[in-house]
């Protein structure tokens, strides 16, 4: 994940910022991002995401939009 600082916008409109560490799976086997926040490491299931924005300039991405769960 290149240890980029990211902002995640969740489907419920809440936001989470941190450093992207890796991809992983939740305890219920959902694909997830592992990010380091001020409060510690957090797994965020991909199906909970609406968008991801890179706060660190990089050649990989700036914004990623996820399909909303309907």
Q: Residue 29 maps to which CATH number?
A: 2.30.30
User: Which DSSP state fits 48?
Assistant: G
pLDDT at 34 over 70: yes
Cα 17 to Cα 40: distance, rounded to the nearest angstrom: 11
Cα 28 to Cα 63: distance, rounded to the nearest angstrom: 27
Instruction: Average the pLDDT over 17-38 and give the result.
Output: 97
Domain of 11 in residue numbering reads as 5-57
Residue 42, domain member (yes or no): yes
Residue 63, domain member (yes or no): no
- The model carries a pTM of 0.90
Non-local CB neighbours of 27 within 8 Å, separated by 6+ positions: none
Residue 23, domain member (yes or no): yes
Residue 64, domain member (yes or no): no
Q: What is the pLDDT of residue 68?
A: 78
Pairing of strands 49-54, 40-45: unpaired
């Amino acid at each position: 994940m290149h240890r980029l600082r990211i902002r995640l916008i969740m489907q419920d409109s809440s936001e989470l910022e941190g450093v992207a560490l890796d991809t992983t799976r939740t305890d219920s086997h959902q694909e997830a991002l592992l990010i380091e926040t001020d409060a510690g490491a957090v797994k965020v299931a991909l199906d909970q995401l609406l968008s991801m924005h890179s706060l660190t300039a990089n050649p990989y991405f700036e914004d990623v939009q996820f399909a909303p769960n309907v």
